[in-house]
């Protein structure tokens, strides 16, 4: 009964944080094809991500399904074209039916572009909260309940590889479009292949969770066109392994938020993001004792270290290296945040701080990709043991 009370308190706290954050302004966006910032709330011509979500409701309810993803006189793909999978489109359609019942002007074809009002803002954010209540939060609660049963005895500019590499070499100006697509496909496929093969040969719930992280991170780092907020698609599976590797998971989630710093600053959301990040860090530090979970075993690197020590017996310093890297990473992120907020970039390099945020975040993500793949590839023994326990 006590655990039920605790679970209820956590859910209510999560809902309270969501609603509190929603009181701030809403988002601008980064157009990955043209690399310029699109203004946010109340600022034409694009009006930010808020308008994108509203516009998708307008398109899905007013046009036949076969026109949703294709350019036409009624569906200008240059104006927040629907570029998410069909499931997202059907979710927009469901929300659009509710919007039409409340106020048809919210989703009227063409004439509703840039529509903003307090009532509509309340509706849009309520759809997110209700979706969390109906789908996301029950899934998390169910996962946490199952986790107790299967756990072992232990309690702008986008930060992907292509945007980072373009700082040094403009690939898109050198290679044809179809060659770029092929290179991106090959790197994405090859980077996720080892983890997928390992999971196929040695399936386990634990291996599945870590493979989710590795594959999502591969897509973020090497896909041809990536939105900066796609890192949230990696953060979600990282949250699933937060209890298993609390130190590394907390570190990753800090970096994922930092990677969106230019976007947060554009919409004047620095203060709420800093407050929530600090609150999250304190919660992880106290609840999971993350700074006490940095041994080879707690970092899930014992099997790898044992393998390396067969050839280099003195290889006992990996945890200390990771601790130092964490300290360097955090200090760098804090300094870059302060510099971005307080200093003006040089006139000849107006995007200097955004590029640095992109570069530093990408280096961190590459490190995490290697780390998660090491866990997966050296986990055959632990995977078999866990399978027996399950």
Q: What would you report as the CA-atom Rg of the chain, rounded to the nearest whole angstrom?
A: 22
Domain boundaries, the chain: 16-150, 154-390
Question: Does pLDDT of 76 surpass 60?
Answer: yes
Residue 320, token pair as written in the block:
């200390």
pLDDT, tens only, 220-249: 999 887 777 889 889 999 999 999 999 999
Residue 186, token pair as written in the block:
């090959």
Separation between Cα atoms, residue 282 and residue 289, nearest integer Å: 10
Exposure string over 250-259, b if 16+ CB within 10 A, otherwise e: bbbbbbbbbb
How many percent of the chain have pLDDT more than 70? 89
Separation between Cα atoms, residue 262 and residue 228, nearest integer Å: 10
DSSP 61-115: HHS-GGGTTS-BTTB-TTTT---S-HHHHHHHHHHHHHHHHH-GGGG-TTTTTT-
3-state helix, strand, coil in the chain (%, to 5): 70, 0, 30
Residue 29: helix, strand or coil by DSSP? strand
Number of H helices, E strands in the chain: 17, 2
The residues near 30 (Cβ < 8 Å, ≥ 6 apart) are 36, 37, 38, 156, 157, 158, 227, 228, 262, 263
Separation between Cα atoms, residue 111 and residue 294, nearest integer Å: 57
Instruction: Tell me which residue has tokens 């004439």.
Output: 111
Separation between Cα atoms, residue 261 and residue 276, nearest integer Å: 14
Question: Does pLDDT of 293 surpass 90?
Answer: no
User: In angstroms, how far is the first alpha carbon of the chain from the final one?
Assistant: 25
Identify the band that residue 2 occupies on the pLDDT scale cut at 50, 70 and 90.
Answer: low
Q: What is residue 50's predicted lDDT score, i.e. its pLDDT?
A: 84
Q: How many other CB atoms are there within 10 angstroms of residue 307's CB atom? A: 13
Q: What is residue 74's predicted lDDT score, i.e. its pLDDT?
A: 92
> Is residue 267 within 8 Å of 48, Cβ to Cβ?
yes
> Is residue 382 within 8 Å of 206, Cβ to Cβ?
yes
pLDDT, tens only, 150-160: 444 443 767 77
Which of 166, 208, 157, 167 minimizes the C-alpha distance to 184? 166
Helix locations, 168-260, DSSP H: 171-174, 177-201, 205-222, 232-240, 246-258
Asked whether the whole model's pTM tops 0.85, one would answer no
Find the mean pLDDT for residues 34-40.
38
pLDDT, tens only, 117-138: 889 988 998 898 898 888 888 8
Which of 163, 156, 169, 185 minimizes the C-alpha distance to 366? 163
Separation between Cα atoms, residue 194 and residue 200, nearest integer Å: 10
Question: In the predicted model, what is the mean pLDDT of the chain?
Answer: 85
211: phi then psi, degrees, rounded to nearest 5: -70, -35
Separation between Cα atoms, residue 167 and residue 161, nearest integer Å: 10
> Is residue 227 within 8 Å of 159, Cβ to Cβ?
no
In angstroms, the Cα distances linking 242 to 185, 253, 319, 349 are: 30, 10, 18, 38
Range with the lowest mean pLDDT among 14-23, 39-48, 125-134? 39-48
* 3-class DSSP string for 35-63: CEEECCCCCCCCCCHHHHHHHHHHHHHHC
């Amino acid at each position: 009964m006590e655990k039920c009370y605790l679970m209820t308190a956590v859910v209510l706290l999560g809902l309270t944080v969501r609603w509190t954050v929603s009181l701030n302004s809403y988002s601008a966006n980064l157009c990955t094809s043209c690399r310029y910032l699109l203004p946010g709330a109340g600022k034409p011509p694009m009006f930010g991500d808020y308008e994108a979500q509203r516009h998708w409701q307008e398109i899905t309810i007013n046009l036949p399904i076969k026109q949703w993803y294709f350019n036409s006189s009624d569906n200008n793909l240059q104006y927040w074209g629907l570029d998410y999978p069909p499931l997202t489109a059907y979710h927009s359609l469901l929300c659009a039916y509710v919007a039409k019942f409340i106020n048809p002007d919210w989703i009227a074809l063409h004439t509703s572009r840039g529509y903003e009002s307090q009532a509509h803002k309340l509706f849009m954010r309520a759809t997110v909260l209700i979706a969390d209540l109906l789908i996301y939060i029950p899934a998390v609660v169910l996962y946490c309940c199952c986790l107790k049963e299967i756990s072992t005895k232990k309690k702008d500019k986008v930060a992907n590889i292509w945007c980072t590499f373009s700082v040094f070499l403009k690939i898109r100006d050198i290679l044809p479009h179809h060659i770029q697509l092929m290179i991106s496909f090959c790197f994405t496929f090859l980077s996720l292949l080892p983890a997928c093969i390992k999971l196929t040969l040695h399936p386990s719930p634990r291996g599945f969770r870590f493979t989710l992280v590795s594959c999502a991170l591969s897509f973020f780092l090497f896909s041809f066109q990536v939105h900066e907020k796609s890192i949230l698609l990696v953060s979600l599976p990282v949250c699933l392994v937060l209890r298993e590797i609390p130190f590394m998971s907390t570190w990753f989630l800090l970096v994922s938020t930092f990677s969106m710093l230019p976007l947060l600053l554009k919409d004047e959301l620095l203060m709420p993001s800093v407050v929530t990040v600090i609150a999250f860090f304190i919660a992880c530090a106290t609840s999971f004792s993350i700074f006490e979970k940095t041994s080879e075993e707690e970092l899930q690197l014992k099997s790898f270290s044992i393998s390396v020590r067969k050839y280099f017996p003195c290889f006992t310093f990996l945890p200390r290296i990771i601790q130092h890297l964490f300290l360097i990473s955090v200090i760098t992120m804090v300094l870059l945040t302060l510099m971005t907020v307080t200093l003006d970039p040089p006139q000849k390099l107006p995007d200097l701080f955004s590029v640095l945020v992109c570069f530093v975040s990408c280096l961190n993500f590459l490190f995490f990709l290697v780390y998660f793949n090491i866990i997966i590839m050296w986990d055959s023994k632990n995977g078999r043991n866990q399978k027996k326990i399950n």
